[in-house]
Amino acid sequence: MPRNGKANGKTNGKGSGHWIGQRFKRKEDPRLIQGISHYADDLRLPGMLHCAFVRSPHAHAVIRSLDTASARSVPGVVAVILAQDLEGVGNVPCAGVLPDLKTPAHPPLARERVRYVGEPVAAVVAEDMYAARDAAELVQVEYDPLPAVVDMEKALAKDADLVHQEFKTNVAYVHPLKNGDIKGAFKRANRIVKERLVNQRLAPVSMEPRGVVAQYLPGERTLTVWSSTQIPHLLKTQISLMLGLPETSVRVVTPEVGGGFGSKLNVYGEEAVVPWLASKLGRPVKWIETRRENMQATIHGRDQIAYLELALKRDGTILGLRARIHADLGAYYQLLTPVIPTLTALLITGCYKIPAVDIEITGVLTNKMATDAYRGAGRPEATYVIERMVDLAARELKMDPVEIRRKNFPKPTEFPYNTSTGVIYDSANYQMSLKRALDLAGYTKLRARQKAGWKQGKYYGIGLSTYVEICGMGPSSAMPAGGWESATVRVEPTGKVTVLTGASPHGQGQETTFAQLVADRFGLRPEDVAVIHGDTAAVPYGIGTFGSRATAVGGTAVYYATEKIKSKMSAIAAHLMGIKPDGLVFGNGKIATKDKKKSVGFGEVVSAAYMARTLPPGMEPGLEATHFFEPSNFTYPFGAHVCSVEVDPETGETKIEKYVAVDDCGNVINPLLVDGQIHGGIVQGLAQALYEEVIYNEDGQLVTGSLMDYALPKAVHQPQFVLDRTVTPSPVNPMGVKGVGEAGTIGSCPAVVNAVCDALSPLGIKHIDMPLKPEKVWRAIQKAQTPPAAGKRSRAQSRARRTA
Amino acid sequence: MIPAAFSYESPRTLKEALALLESNPNAKLLAGGHSLLPAMKLRLATPPALIDLGRIPDLNYIRDTGDHLAIGALTPHAAVASSELLHRMSPLLAEAADSIGDVQVRNRGTIGGSLAQAHPNADYPAAILALDAEIVTLSRTGEHVIPAREFFTGMFTTALSANEIITEVRVPKTTGAGAAYKKFAHPASGYAVVGVATVVRKHGNAIESAAIGITGVSGTPYRATAVENALRGKPASAIADASRRAADGIEAIGDTFASPGYRRHLAMVFTRRALETALARARAK
Ligand SMILES: Cc1cc2nc3c(=O)[nH]c(=O)nc-3n(C[C@H](O)[C@H](O)[C@H](O)COP(=O)(O)OP(=O)(O)OC[C@H]3O[C@@H](n4cnc5c(N)ncnc54)[C@H](O)[C@@H]3O)c2cc1C
């Protein structure tokens, strides 16, 4: 079991009740565990049709002809549509804006050319999904294959084939970020450490793939779209724009959403095509993505190659960082494709004082699926890069990786801390989380065992990752489509509370944590509070759930809306008691004076508000308040992870022996849910380090097109996690919360790679790129060792002794 | 993930099943469905008809028949893995079964289906070969007994003819011998990147004989005869050197997870490990 004891109970912040900080089981779970909840695929509407897409088998090709005749002849087929049928339907939107960005047109169905495997070229609608699938197989498309642009570095060559002819280049943008005296830094440096580091392409693979159900009611002229999305309101706006419908006639509902990890922070072509079909055919249409489609045509994540140079003084002080980063964007943009890599630039100095930076990010177009936000979105890339560089620097300077980190941390008194990349870290104590993690891991003992092990040909390694990340997204000035969040809190006539949140939880558990928060403030119980989300007809306009924002931004909106009602209720209570409304306290179903001498029941005040006979003069009846919260800054959770591994030199396999994570996400509303987020996050980070990799071959074919090839982490792959936390409240919001959805993924990945490279250090191995697949590790060991076989071990041992 | 149309038959006797196969030459037998159904859902297989063996009684058993153990074709992996009879008298097959896939796969997948499928990375074939097991089949011409060494003819291909049904697998008792199955599992599929099954008999301090079946390395599972020959009558210290011949004369397969060269290397490592474990488990005569 994870250890949480320490921070527990002290996380109450400014809460007036006792629900905040409790390990409260999720209200969502009973219905999810029993399978009685409703996902998109569970919706069955009368007369509903089923849609299947015909997708490109080529990475790059000209569509020579399309023949739908045999598909149309399949019994039960109602329609087969091509790009030209979608006349007037808008392109798939991209909200990312950058100077001189080349933005390719991205039609929902391919016109003339296909540019990645899985690009939709036709849609088939039929009475049942079998007929739809059968007919989709019969749509005959003749392609003239073209050379595919697959390798993002080769794509940069002058004579490279082009993904989009009209741009005459595959470079979508170049984004510089420069600050401080970089030349001076490198001139003054005693040591310059250089490395090329790869963040491989990953597939988000949420348990539930995408799914869209649409129904158009011609009488009411309303289009309802049920979509498995993280952003119902933005989707509603974009659907209305793409289809040319007034936004007032479009309603988006998110049924239960089985995970997203950023992949559903998006607007996909299918989300226009399916509603369009439903309107044209006058019948509801359902499309549920298959896993194969999910691997091909739902956004991917990461895919960056970074060339780094770190300038250091002999004592380990970092003077400057140069980074040239190539980011593979894929063939078209999804909602945030081009801007994700720019987040890497913002966070690339990690939790270190690096006074000078010179960063340049080049976005590259290739014949692959678009990359976009995947758990961490730009920040895991940054953390990986800086954490690896700091370790490499420590190796070079013969310093302990702990020492070099401590040397470069800002002091706790230096917060808010301005980074050279232009962001302001709100609050932190990096020394504290590192110390806690080292203590829990038994760092000194681990090092001693490592040295002893090397002498016996055992390759033990210890990896650290001290990370900071950007959460609580974010101030609107820094966001592509608004960074605020909305909440409406309504006390119903019976005294139960309804919370409407613009956040759109899809596994994070805000139905529980927001209920805890509101119950806490009102002095009620969480079961008295219902949290409604994901229905644009019920909930005021909101932004959604991503970027670890739902609690820090959405929760704060709930907090303020609750405060508004509390002050109204205080005024009514005071009026009823005939006293001044100042300093009344809510608790145990009562509103009372501080000294508890006078009180009035919570229900009594609610009744007064609704009966409207005994209200203070001039006061509006009812008990409902809405708040739109605009954060003044991001929040910056941080932490320290320590991982110890053993590498089998014979097979190259890595075994994680111990994993310690100390995370600081500010105040904690529900430790149980925070642990869950950290667990899942660590697992996804470990998986990037060791297993996961989207592979396209040189023709642009997706090799890892199924879960038999794409290695998602499984329970049997996981070590025991030892969790702990420190609590450094954020000054950015009144609850002092920061966000925790992505922290585990961001922190964990470099810890594992650092551990493996540390284990192999006696062999002179400096770096191996992720994923650390056994063969790759084995080959690196083979290369480092010299034949003949008999000499292997002794050679390794003698090097180990020298190091020791 | 939606299969093409097919018809479904559920015969109650083997005879009925044979007749149905006869009249539907392109029909497929359905056992646990854990190879066939995924292929159908991806439309990699589009059989017009399925003949479900699941309703035929008495194909799911593990019996002691005196000189060997008989396992019904429809016995799921989980039953093999947990069989007390096997653990006592021929544990290799149980150890291999226990390493297959995950719980659901082991509960649904059957030994007959796995052998008929002849997946190049399946686990059973290594054990079946090392045990010199026999595959019992039924066709119109009657019952046939196919020795393991003649059964696997290539990647996804076997000595079975189109209308032949596996009914039983017979494995010898290996009492006294030491057996071990060592597997390097693919992190995504769970299949064996390399799997080595071995039965070692000990005489005094020497290895009397070692039988070694290897899966995953080549398209077809094979007996590592070069290693077997190098070990006959040799002491344990010969294992390391002999294991280097685990992929002698074998053309290895490769994919993005493991190249041919790496697979050959793994074959050597896992052969050594399997032999060492098996030897430690063997009782000397
Ligand atoms: C996720 C997953 C992981 C897996 N991991 C592993 C693993 O690690 N190791 C491993 O070895 N396997 C693995 N498998 C395969 C699994 O063991 C299958 O169950 C097995 O290969 C086929 O057995 P079945 O009973 O399901 O056969 P089915 O799928 O029903 O049939 C397979 C083929 O055999 C034929 N057939 C079936 N029974 C007979 C019979 N009695 N006579 C003649 N022909 C017959 C069928 O017509 C068909 O062609 C995995 C499968 C899955 C889905």
Same domain, A115 and A127: yes
Residue finishing a domain among A297, A318, A347: A297
Pick from A695, A717, A775: CB nearest B262: A775
A129 with B2: Cβ contact below 8 A: yes
Residue A790: give its domain's CATH number: 3.30.365.10
B48-to-A569, B2, B5, B9, B13 alpha-carbon distances in Å: 70, 14, 7, 11, 21
Confidence grade of residue B212 (pLDDT, cut at 50, 70, 90): very high
Q: Provide the pLDDT for residue A18.
A: 87
Same domain, A399 and A415: yes
- Residue limits of CATH 3.30.43.10 in chain B: 7-52
- For residue A244 the two structure tokens come to 């040319």
Residue at A346 is within a domain: no
Same domain, A550 and A665: no
- Residue limits of CATH 3.30.390.50 in chain B: 178-281
Residue at A167 is within a domain: no
Same domain, A697 and A551: no
- ∠ CA A209-A215-A219, nearest 5°, is 170
Let me know how long chain B is: 285
Q: What is the pTM of this model?
A: 0.94
- To probe the interface with A, which of B106, B262, B270 has the most A CB atoms within 10 Å? B262
Residue at A136 is within a domain: yes
What backbone torsions phi and psi does residue A659 show, to the nearest 5 degrees?
-140, 115
Could you tell me which CATH number the domain at B57-172 has? 3.30.465.10
CA distance A642 to chain B (A): 24
Confidence grade of residue B162 (pLDDT, cut at 50, 70, 90): confident
Alpha-carbon dihedral A340, A346, A348, A352, rounded to 10 degrees: -150
Same domain, A791 and A669: yes
The residue segments making up the domain with residue A561 are 29-37+484-629
Q: Provide the pLDDT for residue A786.
A: 59
> B262: which chain A residues are within 8 Å (Cβ-Cβ)?
774-775, 778-779
Same domain, A785 and A737: yes
Mean pLDDT in residue range B106-134:
98
Asked whether A401 and A390 are in contact (CB, 8 A), the reply is yes
Same domain, A539 and A425: no
Same domain, A647 and A781: yes
Asked if omega into A771 is within 30° of 0 (cis), the reply is yes
B178-281: what CATH class?
Answer: alpha beta
How many domains does the structure of chain A reveal? Answer: 3
- Residue limits of CATH 3.30.465.10 in chain B: 57-172
Pick from B43, B188, B269: CB nearest A709: B188
Residue at A4 is within a domain: no
Q: Provide the pLDDT for residue A349.
A: 98
CATH architecture of the region B7-52: 2-Layer Sandwich (3.30)
Q: Provide the pLDDT for residue A17.
A: 59
CA distance A691 to chain B (A): 7
Q: Is A779's Cβ below 8 Å from some Cβ in B?
A: yes
Q: Provide the pLDDT for residue A75.
A: 98
Same domain, A787 and A772: yes
Same domain, A590 and A664: no
Residues in chain A, pLDDT under 70: 1-17, 786-804
| Residue A661 neighbours by CB under 8 Å, 6+ apart | A437, A639, A640, A641, A678, A682, A721, A722, A723, A724, A744, A747, A748
- For residue A589 the two structure tokens come to 């179903």
Determine the 3-state secondary structure of B213 from DSSP. Answer: strand
Same domain, A119 and A236: yes
| Residue A784 neighbours by CB under 8 Å, 6+ apart | A760, A763, A764, A765
> B259: which chain A residues are within 8 Å (Cβ-Cβ)?
775
Let me know how long chain A is: 804
Cβ-Cβ pairs closer than 8 A, A with B, add up to 51
Asked whether A804 and A455 are in contact (CB, 8 A), the reply is yes
Asked whether A350 and A232 are in contact (CB, 8 A), the reply is no
Q: Provide the pLDDT for residue A791.
A: 42
Asked whether B249 and B222 are in contact (CB, 8 A), the reply is no
Residue A112: give its domain's CATH number: 3.90.1170.50
Q: Provide the pLDDT for residue A41.
A: 97
